[in-house]
Structure 1
Amino acid sequence: MHVAREKKRLNLATKFNFLTIGVILVTAVGISIFLIRAQISHSYRNLLNHGMSVAAMMSQNSEYGIYTEDKDAIRQIVKSLAVDADVAYVCLYKNKRKLICESFQSEIKTPSLHHYKKSYRSLQMLHEEFVNKKDGLRYIDIVAPVASAIDSDSPEILGDDNGTTRQKIIGYVQLGLTKDGLRKRIRQIIVSTGYFTIICVVVGIAVTLFLTRRITLPIRDLNIATQKISEGILEQHIRITSHDEIADLAQAFNHMLGRLRDYRNQAEERTGQLVLANQKMALEIAERKRVERALEQKTKELSRSNSELEQFAYIVSHDLQEPLRKVLAFGDRLLDKCGETISSEGKEYIIRMQNASQRMKTLITDLLVFSRLRTKAQPFTQVDLTQVAREVLSDLEIKIEQTGGTVKLGDLPIIDADPLQMRQLFQNLIGNALKFQRKGGSPVVDIRACMLDDQENGSDGNAHRPVCQITFEDNGIGFNEKYADRIFGVFQRLHGRDEYEGTGIGLSICKKIAERHDGKIKAKSAPGKGATFIITLPMKQSKGGNYE
């Protein structure tokens, strides 16, 4: 069986040592490199300044010898530089012609004056480094002009145009410096700096180890005490031996241990109380679940009862129409065949019987419509409400002409809805507006719509859904607004049957249609000032239960 190897664990002291030693090493190396580079740069500048000083001295001392081409005098000046270990070669030129060239080291090929990128025909000294092809070493080549102070109009004369004394370059001193001495000095600098760095690193590491032990020893004691506390042993006490932040930590730790012991005692006391409370809560939860199951069962029974009641209303209403049709048919036949033998009082009874039967038929028809709103509902589709309103107005054309009414139809949106129920909704509301009118007046019905952002959750839980608000406004008799909720109840009427016909189910059907579409309907009115019905319907229906 493969056993996973446990990763090696580094303690805090080791990590602190590694970090501190690493910082010491990096710092020491960085400082050493900086010092070495500074010393090398300083030594290089000293060598270059020494060479330029020697070249300037040679330029002054050899002016007369170059001018007179006295090679013996020039050779004496050159030999005087043989004792200088930094000088590799010396060459003297008169104009462009080499007079003498002395090399103090073998296998050195002196560079020509033409290899300088800057013009050497000036009073400035020039210097460049080059690699000798024979030995592969680098040398510093310095060129110093030799000028003579004379009065002349020659074009090679240099000087101030306003003065009378001018200088003419009569030759050059070419001096070569070897870097052997510089390399020896660099090696000495590296060795001495290395020794110094090693000493500093060793001292730093020793101090680090000492301080790490002093710092981490109290932390180790805290760690041991913490492990024992994790095992449940709270009878611990940290000994305080210093006067720093770690001592503050140890004191706070001891205080925490005391409070933990107090909390443990309190917890043990309350554990028994919690056990009793949990037992009591378990009994309450069991009782609540029993009540919830009973409530769920009652809800299912109520839903089934409502469904059966709707089905019963539909069946009863449907079956009641057959005897009513026979009553109406036999009443018509009785008037047709026996009308002459029946007295006028008998005819009045028959007519009253037929009117009552007709009202009952209308009532049964409305009940059938009310019960079919869910049992015989159609799926939601895209419905053009403008087209629905025009079809309803076409069906009510005769009634509009009889009442002398006017219907103003605005732009209505296209929504997800049951087309037949939308038609029924419009027909009920427009029919009521034409029916409940003041005597001697002509009904005016205004139908309009606007778009809103619903701030309340619908059945789909969407708190911000686009809805349309459809308003039916008329100039009829109106009603007291305290009955605004009552008029939507089944068989609720505010006027007698003799004043206005109807069964009192029309607005109940409208409310049920609006609720089935996850919408709302409300009414505003005042006696003698007409009525306004406002229906709010969502533009889009959810893909859940509303799509039947």
Structure 2
Amino acid sequence: MHGRIAAALAVVVALLMAVVSASVVVLLETRQSQREVVRDYYEGLRSSQNYFIAMLDSETAIRGYALTHDPSALDPLNDSGQPWAHPISSSLADVLPDTAALPAMRDAEEAAEAWYADWAEPTIRSIDDGAELTTDDFNDGRKLFDSFRTEYNEYINTLRPEREAAAHHLAEVTNLGFAIGVLSAIICLVAGLVLWRLMRRWVSNPATHLAGEARIVADGELDHKVIGQGPPEFVQLGDDVELMRQRLVAEIDQADQARREVIRARAVLEEQTQELQRSNRELEQFAYVASHDLQEPLRKVASFCQMLQRRYGGQLDDRADQYIHFAVDGAKRMQQLINDLLEFSRVGRISTPASDIDLSECLGAALLNLETAREESGAEVDADDLPVVRGEAPLLTQLFQNLVGNAIKFRAGAAPRIRITSRREGDFWEFSCSDNGIGIEPEYADRVFLIFQRLHPKEAYGGTGIGLAMCKKIVEYHGGRIWVDAVPEQVGSKSGEGDEQNGPGTTIRWTLPVTAEHLRLPEAEPAVEVAR
């Protein structure tokens, strides 16, 4: 198709170039002929006629002066510009260098000079001297002027036919230019019609057919086979479209199969989700009920063990007192463990409406709850101005209480020094709680957030191992994350004394969303009422 179009365009371009070339040649010839007729010959005729009229005015003036002896009769002679003294043949040679009339004009100028020198000038002097002219004098002047007139007429009779021939040539060239213009228009029209028919046959009709085939497939008839028509390029394009249709049908079939599998998987997932929700509700109810049921016999065990310790303490042997002490301590630890487990299970399940919470107030409440531990350990807590976030005040207070409480509990030899900071990082607030305590080994950085995970024996540090796990659950419930900083900040005493007793320290960092849109609150589950 490209070769056909190129050949057709080459033919059209060749015809147009030939027509344009002929038009340029004719146009240049027309301009040349028009310049000769309108400017050159006109200028030759005009200047020569002005020369002849000036000579007539001069001859008439001298005759009038000869008859009247009135000096005013010579005014036309003076106004004529004395043409015999100013020949025009040189200017005519510039305008019409190839004219055959130029020698006749030179002869006429010579006759004019002879008329003035031989008759006009002597006649004026004679009349000025008072002489009277005879008939012979007038006849001599007439003969000289007739000689000038004869030469001038020969010039005119030669120049006018030349001008008429140039005008005829101009008319012929103009007609030829008009004919070429009409021929150009016909050629352009015919070439345009031929190109239109060829483009319609080679491009438009095959493209329309292929578009119709594609439209049928686009309207939903995916089984319709696309066939290209016309030049080989459109046939190839039709084959490509057909191949694309086949691939599209195959992909649609795969997509339908995948969609059906997704629907089946979604149904299974929804069923499993419902089963999981039911299991979670049963598990939560079991935790509440089991915890309540455990509390009552455990209180009895602890109560009677304490009664045995008070009544029979010192009356039995040392081993019996030790056993009673172990029983009381185990019962208390079991009660604490059950209470912590209940608190952990309530996070995110029994919630209060979210609101704007000033974290500085939450920290103040947490420090107030830890007042006794702070006084006993001599702990110092330094905190930045904390921001306002969206969340639940009791949980955020519990978060600060657990972090500060751990910093006090796991202290080194020096008094605890705790530093709490905050800064904004994009759409989140990033907080840190740093201390000068015993620190956390890097390999245990993730393990400390697991429930019931302890890194030290209970004899060294008390607790149930739920504190940091609860912090993680509170932070994630509010849409953030929590981690142990690999490089803890160094926090020492304000006075600088006792720094040698500081531990490596620990830095816990966590984030909370800046805006309410980041808060991911789960649907509240119905609380299980437990009788106390």
Q: TM-score range by the shorter chain?
A: 0.5 to 0.7
1:506, distance to aligned residue in structure 2 (A):
0.6
Instruction: String of CA shifts for 1:381-425, please: whole Å, max 9, x gaps.
Output: 333323322332233222122112222323433322322211111
* Deviation, structure 1 residue 229: 6.8
Matched with 1:479 is 440
> Unaligned regions of 5+ residues in structure 2, if any?
1-8, 62-69, 82-170, 214-224, 488-501, 524-532
Report the AA paired with residue 506 of structure 2: A
Q: Greater strand share, 1 or 2? A: 1
The TM-score with structure 1 as length reference comes to 0.53
CA distance, structure 2, for counterparts of residue 218 and residue 434 of structure 1? 94
The one of 396, 400, 423 aligned to 1:422:
396
Match of 1:355 in 2: 329
Q: Where does 1:387-466 land on structure 2 (aligned, <5 Å)?
A: 387-438=361-412, 440-452=413-425, 465-466=426-427
Aligned residues between the structures? 382
State the match for 1:529 in structure 2.
504
**In the alignment, residue 355 of structure 1 is paired with which amino acid?**
D
Q: Does 1:226 align with 2:206?
A: yes
Distance of 1:233 and 1:417 partners within structure 2:
62
The yes-or-no answer on 1:204 pairing with 2:178 is no
| The structure with more radius of gyration | 2
5+ residue gaps, structure 1, are 1-12, 81-190, 239-252, 453-464
2:311 alignment counterpart: 339
CA RMSD of aligned residues (A): 5.9
Q: Tell me the alpha carbon deviations over residues 204-232 of structure 1, each in whole angstroms, 9 at most, x when there is no partner.
A: 22222343455455445436973897588
Q: 1:503, 1:283 → 2: CA distance?
A: 52
Name the amino acid aligned to 1:488.
F
Structure-2 separation of matches of 1:71 and 1:318: 155
* C-alpha contact (below 8 Å) 1:314/1:367 kept by paired residues: no
The alpha-carbon distance between structure 1 residues 235 and 424, as it changes in their structure 2 partners (threshold 3 A), is closer
Alignment of 1:134-283 (within 5 A): 199-216=179-196, 218-222=198-202, 226=206, 253-254=231-232, 257=235
Q: Which residue pairs with 2:478 in the alignment?
A: 517
CA displacement at 1:507 relative to structure 2: 0.8
Tell me how far apart the structure 2 counterparts of residues 518 and 233 of structure 1 sit (CA, whole Å): 54
Q: Distance in 1 between matches of 2:399 and 2:204?
A: 82
TM-score computed with the length of structure 2 as normaliser? 0.54
Higher RCO (CA < 8 A, seq sep 6+) = 2
Distance in 2 (CA, whole Å) between partners of 1:275 and 1:412 is 60
- CA deviations over 1:273-326 (Å, ceiling 9, x no partner): 999998898667645543442133213322332243234323433454455455
User: For 1:430 and 1:528, how far apart are their aligned partners in 2?
Assistant: 16
Change (3 A) 1:294 1:547: closer
- The 5 Å alignment of 1:313-332 reads 313-325=287-299, 327-328=301-302
Task: Among all aligned residue pairs of Structure 1 and Structure 2, give the percentage whose two residues are the same amino acid.
Answer: 32
Equivalent residues of 2:379, 2:408 under 8 A apart? yes
**Equivalent position to 2:451, from 490, 493, 506:** 490
Structure 2 partner of 1:299? 273
Confirm or deny: 8 A CA contact 2:408 2:416 kept in the other structure: yes
For the pair 1:507 / 2:464, whether they are aligned, the reply is no
Q: Is the 8 A contact 1:480 1:525 kept in 2?
A: no
Compared CA separation, residues 260 and 383, structure 1 to 2 (3 A): closer
CA distance in 1, matches of 2:312, 2:240: 108
Equivalent residues of 1:412, 1:448 under 8 A apart? yes
- For residue 194 of structure 1, report the CA deviation from its aligned partner: 9.6
SS at match of 1:519: coil
